Structure 1
Amino acid sequence: MSHIRSGINLNVILLLLLNFLWNRQKQQKQQTYDYTECVCGCDYAFEPVDNLTKGYMTAQFKGIKRGDYILLKNGSNLYRYQVEEIDYYSEPPDMWIALLHKVVQD
């Protein structure tokens, strides 16, 4: 009987550990990438959609992922977007296209 009880305890411990690791991975902080000093059309391409509330951006920089933030500047206006979807090209491997949505500033 004690053998069954220790097996259950081991399963509970394993499930708790997996749950902890899963939640820790989900809680990784989003990064913010500043493109305000970059030149649109040269360093990156941005195609606005829905009156700048969304847009498609293509650029080269490794490590950007879904949920990250991108800062863009248009004239004197500063825009903060969040990466909704991102796809990396196979060649070059650090080039990507992403669907961004504008984050409303408080």
Structure 2
Amino acid sequence: MYFIKKSIKSSLIFIKGLLPGNFSENLPKKNQQKAHDYSQLDWGIDYIFEPINLGKGGYMTGIGKGIKIHDYIILQKEGKYYRYQVEQIDYYSDPPDMWIASLKEISVQ
């Protein structure tokens, strides 16, 4: 057991020496924002979006797993695309993939 621990520790030191800078800086980031495209779904049927502040933000109820704070939601209405960032999100307990989120507009195309 001592040999295995020493071997693993030596390997990590060797790998760390090969990587420039701080070891943790070179690891893949786990908390990167993702974009979730709801633009092909029907507004008011597949999800509910309630705009606030003249559409600069809103509350959305939808279905989907893996949506987190700071992720992006892409919506479409009347041929226009809207990009929102998730400020807060809460998942329902039943069904577990249903959620409600507070969104703020990032860009309009």
Shorter-chain TM-score: what band?
0.7 to 0.9
Q: Which residue of 2 aligns with 1:102?
A: 105
Structure 2 partner of 1:38: 41
CA deviation after TM superposition for structure 1 residue 29, in Å: 1.2
Q: So what's the TM-score if we normalise by structure 1?
A: 0.73
TM-score (structure 2 length as normaliser): 0.71
Of residues 52, 57, 78, the one that matches 2:55 is: 52
Identity of aligned residues (%): 49
Distance 1:45 1:26 in 2: 32
Q: Deviations over 1:29-85 (max 9, x none)?
A: 111011110001111000000000000000010110001000001102110000000
Contact 2:91 2:97 in 1 (8 A): yes
Determine the C-alpha separation between the residues in 1 that align with 2:67 and 2:30: 16
Q: Which amino acid aligns with 2:80?
A: N
Consecutive unaligned residues in structure 2, runs of 5 or more: 1-22
- Does 1:71 pair with 2:74? yes
Paired amino acid for 2:73:
I
Count of aligned pairs between the two proteins? 90
